Homo-oligomer: A and B are copies of this chain.
C-alpha cells in the first residue's frame, strides 16, 4: 500500500495452559547459541568463543581475578541454559523468562544476583521492525547476557572494553550492564531519527504530491511509535527501580551514570510523544486535504450543473414537437409554440439563456461559492 512495511504486533508467546512454572520451552524458530566470553581487569582483556558451557568454564579457570562478560546470542539450547542456571544457581523462573522472549523491561533482585530485561527495537536488514529481548544476569564479577539474534549490537562497547579508557574496565559488572543498557537506549534514538526522517518525508509529500499511501505510511509509523512507547515506559520504571535499589552490584558510580540513562529514556519518551503528534497531524491534514479536493470537485460539478440545468430545460422546451399545422388535417394551431415561428425567436432564446447563465453566476458569486474554503 505504501513505502513502509506493515508492522505486525503478533505475540510470540507459546500457549501451554497450566504448565509448571519454571519450565524452559524454547520457541521453534529460535537460533542456535553463539557464546563469546570477555574476561577483563585493569590490565588485560581476554576473549574466547564457543558453543557450549566448556568455553565458559575454561575461561573461568584461566582468568581468576577478572570480570567476565558472557555474551550468549541465540537461545535454542535448552541444555546450555539449564546448565548455566544450575552452575550459577539461578531461579528456574529466571531461566523461563530468558527463553520466553516476550518479557517487559524489568529488574528483579535475587539472593546474590539480579536479573534485568530490556527490549531491542530496530529495523532489520529487510526493513522489518524487530522487537527482541535482551536479558542479563549480573553476579559479583560476572555478567551473562542473552540475545535472540546473532546480530552485533555492541561493537562500540567492545571497542571501549578493548581501548580500556574510562571506567569500563574497573567499575565492575554493574557498570557493564549499564553500558549495554545505555547502548540499547542509544539505538532508540537512531530508530526515532529514522522515524523523524520518514515523517518529514511524508509531510513534504503531503504538500508536494499527496496520494493515498500517506495515510497508510503515517499509520505504520504511528504503530511503531506505539510499540516503542510501550517498552520505554516500563524501561523508565525499571531504571528508577535500579536507582532506588541498594544492591551492592549497583555502586554509587554506576548510579550517577544511570541517572544520565534515565534522562535519555525521558528524552526518548518526549520524542515519541512529539512524533505521535506529528503522525496524527499529518493524518488530519491529509484527510482535510482529501475532503477539500472532493469538495472542490463537487462544487465545480454543482455549479456547472446548476447553470446548465435550466438552460437545457429551455432547449428541451423548444425541442418539443407541438405542431403548428396538423399534418393529418392541415389545421393551423397558432397557440402551439408560436415562439418557434417568430423571426428572431432563436436569437431571443439564446439571449435569454445567456442572461439566465449570467444571473446565476452573479448569484453564486455573491453567495461566495467561488471562494476556496
24 residue pairs from A and B, CB less than 8 Å apart: A15-B186, A15-B193, A17-B156, A17-B190, A18-B160, A18-B179, A19-B156, A91-B256, A104-B266, A104-B267, A219-B285, A222-B281, A290-B291, A290-B295, A294-B295, A297-B298, A301-B302, A312-B316, A315-B320, A324-B328, A333-B342, A335-B346, A335-B347, A336-B345
Asked if B326 contacts A324 (CB within 8 A), the reply is yes
**Residues on B with beta carbons closer than 8 Å to the beta carbon of A210:** 371, 373
Partner of A263, one of B18, B103, B273: B103
Partner of A256, one of B93, B166, B200: B93
Asked if A324 contacts B327 (CB within 8 A), the reply is yes
Asked if A17 contacts B186 (CB within 8 A), the reply is yes
Asked if B189 contacts A274 (CB within 8 A), the reply is no
Number of A interface residues in the complex (CB < 8 A): 139
Closest to A317 in B: B315
Asked if B315 contacts A319 (CB within 8 A), the reply is yes
A residues within 8 Å of B by Cβ? Answer: 1, 6, 8-11, 13, 15-22, 91, 93, 96-97, 102-104, 106, 108, 154-157, 159-160, 165-166, 168, 179, 182-183, 186-187, 189-190, 192-193, 196, 200, 203, 207, 209-212, 215-216, 219, 222-223, 226, 230, 256-257, 259-260, 263, 266-267, 270-271, 273-275, 277-278, 281, 284-285, 287-306, 308-313, 315-329, 331-337, 339-347, 349-350, 367-369, 371-373
Asked if B290 contacts A294 (CB within 8 A), the reply is no
Q: Which 8 A-B pairs have the closest CB atoms?
A: A18-B156, A315-B316, A318-B320, A18-B183, A17-B186, A322-B346, A319-B319, A301-B302
Asked if B340 contacts A323 (CB within 8 A), the reply is yes
**Residues on B with beta carbons closer than 8 Å to the beta carbon of A209:** 371
**Residues on B with beta carbons closer than 8 Å to the beta carbon of A343:** 331, 333, 335-336
- State how many angstroms separate the Cβ of A257 from the closest Cβ of chain B: 5
Closest to A203 in B: B6
Complex: A155 Cα to B19 Cα, angstroms: 10
Complex: A270 Cα to B103 Cα, angstroms: 10
Asked if B315 contacts A341 (CB within 8 A), the reply is no
Asked if B346 contacts A270 (CB within 8 A), the reply is no
Complex: A123 Cα to B165 Cα, angstroms: 43
Q: Which of A1, A196, A263, A341 has the most CB of B within 10 A?
A: A341
